[in-house]
Homo-oligomer: A and B are copies of this chain.
Amino acid sequence: MRKLYVVGLGPGDPELITVKGLNRLREAEVVFIPMSSKVDDSIALSIVEKISIASKVIKLSVSMGDKTWVEKVAREVCNALHKFSCIAIAVLGEPSLYSTSAHLLASMKCLDDVYIEIVPGVSAIYACADRVLMPLALGDEAIAIVPSARVEALGDVVGYFNTVVVVKGGKIMAKAAESLAQKGFRIVYAKRCFTEDEVIGRDIIDEDYISLVIARR
């Protein structure tokens, strides 16, 4: 049976891939890496280049503004599944969280006789919380994970949560953080944790997409 692995690479540090993820990438004859022109997905490529695998690495061109990318890329991966018995798709962070791989799997029309395994990864959310030695939840506390574009709409909902993690940085990240600070949350801004480009502080200093805010009461 042909195999398709989707492997979460973790937040950026090549050592933060799991042992299983590393083994699956080594087993795969071809490793596909979705790359977006908009977002700096070269982090995923740099991880794969630093870990020791003999597999062939192929970049997949993802353009979120153009809805036709997914059909095109799905066909490309399906073609590879006809040629090779074991392939992998490697994605930054954790595959279940805002990953292109979910769109890709949903669009692939060649998966009937394919064994699919998604190998979990460390998400940037955990990596950044751990980097600042901050628990996200203790006891019976609850957490919300919210893209910055939707923080304004949170409204009174925040009252229920002890921690709100604002993901998908960008132009509105600072506004989202200010809104939470006004509601009594302490704010930590964290960018590219566990990498050479790591920035951690109280101020939202740029519009990096791979950044987040942890707001905790």
Residues in chain A within 8 A of chain B (CB atoms): 6, 8, 10-11, 13-20, 22-23, 94-99, 102-103, 105, 116, 118-123, 126-127, 129-131, 133-147, 149-150, 153-154, 157, 160-161, 168
A119 touching B123, Cβ below 8 Å: no
Task: From B102, B119, B130, B140, give the contact of A149 (CB < 8 A).
Answer: B140
Instruction: Give me 23 A-to-B residue pairs in the complex whose CB atoms sit less than 8 angstroms apart, sorted by A's number.
Output: A6-B130, A8-B126, A13-B20, A15-B20, A18-B18, A95-B130, A95-B135, A96-B130, A96-B134, A97-B135, A98-B137, A98-B139, A99-B135, A119-B130, A120-B130, A121-B122, A121-B126, A137-B145, A143-B146, A144-B144, A145-B145, A154-B160, A157-B160
Give the distance in Å from the alpha carbon of A122 to the alpha carbon of B17 in the complex.
10
* Interface class of chain A by DSSP: mixed
A126-B120 in contact (CB<8A): yes
Closest 6 CB pairs of A and B: A15-B20, A118-B130, A102-B135, A96-B129, A143-B145, A120-B126
Q: A16 is contacted by which of B19, B116, B161 (Cβ under 8 Å)?
A: B19
How far does the alpha carbon of A153 sit from the alpha carbon of B141 in the complex, in Å? Answer: 12
Which residues of the partner chain B approach A145 to less than 8 Å between Cβ atoms?
137, 142-145
| Residue numbers in B under 8 Å from A95 (CB-CB) | 130, 135
Cβ of A136: which chain B residues have Cβ within 8 Å of it?
96-97
A96 / chain B contacts, CB cutoff of 8 Å: 126, 129-130, 134-137
Chain B residue nearest to A11 (CB atoms) is B120
| Nearest CB in chain B: distance from A101 CB, A | 9
Q: Give the residues in chain B near A147, CB-CB below 8 Å.
A: 139-142
- Is the CB–CB distance between B20 and A19 below 8 Å? no
Which partner residue on chain B sits nearest A159 by CB separation?
B157
